[in-house]
Amino acid sequence: MKQWHKTFPILLLLILLVSACQPLVAPEGMPSGEDTAPAESAVAAPMVDVNFYTSHAAHERFGQIDLASGAGADIAKYENPEVEILRTGWFIPDGAIYEDAFYVIANKRLTANDTPEDAQARLAKVDMQSGAVEFLGSVIPLHVNAVEIDACGQMYTAGFTLSNQIGELFGDTNLYRVDRQDASLTLVGDTGLERIMDMSFDPDGKLWATVGNVLYTLDMETGAPTEMAKITGTEDELEIMGIGFTSEGELYGTTPFADGFYSIDPASGVATEVGRHGLEFMHGGDIPMTPREVDCDSGG
């Protein structure tokens, strides 16, 4: 008995030493530490027919509006390492969603001493979580405003001219295709419409535009406009400057002069308030929709 008491501490020490040298093994059904390392998650495309995404805060910030309630939410300030995004300098008036990004064309607002030859715009891709703005391609020597992208990823824009106390913009009334790789423009045709505020494709692939509270469709071969309806029913008849269609053909719109969010009947132009988004100076925008089934290799 006395001999056992003397050897027990030695045996216990040996057991502890052997246990400490064994590798740790996760219990059955539990992943090992190597397997539980966080994986890089891909950025998911935004849900369709849920939110209206837009520029707000005088073209300086990215935000969204819930289609069902009209409630708005700020997402982020536009940030670019080359230039500061400001209403009085480089600003982002509109954007269109394709896959997981918000594509925009930023314009450089000029002074009264500048000429049309000084016009500059830049195609850019906006991260929809952080607001980071990545310039793509070369400088566009023209001011543009409305942008939209079809189901095949082809981007369109329209020239825009404006002169006010904030600065000068030198554009035209043409509709253009935009190469999303190098930012080059290809002329579609002259719309004859001054200052197109926004454009949106409906579920059938027809391109709509809004100018002066009038809805038009644009011919994709010539740019020629067809008047569809006069927009009525907004607060104090304020002008709608942002439009977007859902997959079901429902049209929504915003005005920069108040925070009402509207559903608009495309046939009659009658606007009905959905709610108040609480954001300031909103312009342009887009709604992610389910792409229609088209043969993109044959040109849609």
Is residue 266 one of the residues assigned to a domain?
yes
Is residue 4 one of the residues assigned to a domain?
no
Report pLDDT for 300. Answer: 55
For residues 265 and 15, what is the distance between their CA atoms, to the nearest angstrom? 81
Q: How confident is the model at residue 295 (pLDDT cuts 50, 70, 90)?
A: confident
Longest dimension (CA), the chain: 110
CATH number at residue 258: 2.120.10.80
Q: What is the pLDDT of residues 54-72, one digit of tens each?
A: 999 999 999 999 999 999 9
For residues 256 and 226, what is the distance between their CA atoms, to the nearest angstrom? 25
Q: List Cβ neighbours of 9 (8 Å cut-off, separation of 6 or more).
A: none
CA 143 centroid distance within chain: 19
Is residue 19 one of the residues assigned to a domain?
no
For residues 34 and 37, what is the distance between their CA atoms, to the nearest angstrom? 6
pLDDT at 96 over 80: yes
Q: What is the pLDDT of residues 198-245, one digit of tens each?
A: 999 999 999 999 999 999 999 999 999 999 999 999 999 999 999 999
Q: Tell the burial category of 113 from Cβ atoms under 10 Å away from its Cβ (0-12, 13-18, 19+).
A: exposed
Report pLDDT for 38. Answer: 42
Residue 238 parent element (H or E): none
Is residue 43 one of the residues assigned to a domain?
no
pLDDT at 21 over 80: no
pTM equals: 0.84
Query: What does each C-alpha distance from 120 to 129, 139, 229, 284 come to in angstroms?
Result: 27, 6, 33, 20
For the chain, the C-alpha Rg in angstroms (whole number) is: 27
Is residue 40 one of the residues assigned to a domain?
no
Share of the chain above pLDDT 90, in %: 80
Report pLDDT for 45. Answer: 78
Is residue 3 one of the residues assigned to a domain?
no
Q: How many domains does the chain have?
A: 1
Is residue 22 one of the residues assigned to a domain?
no
Token pair belonging to 233: 């029913």
Is residue 2 one of the residues assigned to a domain?
no
Structural domain boundaries enclosing 142: 51-292
